[in-house]
Amino acid sequence: MSASRSMGFTGSAGVLEGLLDAPPSEPHAIAVVCHPHPLQQGAMTNKVTYILARAFNDLGAVSLRFNFRGVGTSAGSFNNGIGETGDALAAMDWLSNEYPGLPLWVGGFSFGAYIALRAQSERSIKRLVTVAPAVEHFDTAPIELPVCPWLLVQGDADEVVSPQAVLEWANKLPRPPSLAVLKGAGHFFHGRLNELRQAVVGYFSGGIGLSRGSVRL
């Protein structure tokens, strides 16, 4: 696997920093990955964000992790999810321009999962992954639900986001995601990152065969 390549692109707040991770062969898709909450030390170097990017690489996509406004050297300051959604859209547009014609995938972790959900409704997204989405802390009601294949990964021992709240929310949706529940996994998936990666790769490659509903890993 090649090393991450540092780069920058312009959003409405100014220049945002990012890291590109390429698959070992010619890419057939592109993917944007959104990191956890900027005010709680969330950054593109977060381990779950990194694992999501690598899972997308495993599936043949070029992945872009980036720092939201005000994180690292990215310009601007925290904007309560609204500006951060704009940052994600700018990342999608930049990557789409760099690799024209390739299908676009989106993933996110915690706050980043919320941003990924917001942003996917404004672009043509072919795959969506949300890991431990912070549904209790943000208003998800106005979000237009995905029509693409959507995997939600949740640890059932999450100490930050209520697993029960996440699963109840997901199961009540008119178009619910496929669920992968990692038994005993906490919010940051310590010691379980490889299983998280395998869940994503397995779902989209057909290895796990998840359907609408829940599977425990």
> Nearest-CA neighbor of 199 among 26, 19, 36, 56?
56
- CA neighbor of 63 nearest in space, from 37, 102, 120, 101: 102
What is the predicted pLDDT for the residue at 156? 97
What's the confidence (pLDDT) of residue 137?
A: 85
Per-residue model confidence (pLDDT) at position 190: 98
Q: What is the pLDDT of residues 11-47, one digit of tens each?
A: 999 999 999 999 999 999 999 999 999 999 999 999 9
Q: Using the predicted structure, report yes or no on whether residue 185 has a pLDDT greater than 70.
A: yes
Candidate CATH numbers 3.40.50.720, 3.40.50.620, 1.10.10.350, 3.40.50.1820; the one for domain 5-216: 3.40.50.1820
Residue 79, pLDDT > 60, answer yes
Rounded to an integer, the average pLDDT of 154-166 is 97
CA distance 131 to 108: 6
Model confidence at 211, pLDDT cuts 50, 70, 90, reads very low
Q: b/e string for 146-166 if b means 16 or more Cβ within 10 A?
A: beebbbbbbbeebebbebeeb
- Read off the pLDDT of residues 117-135 as tens digits, 9 standing for 90 and up: 999 999 999 999 999 999 9
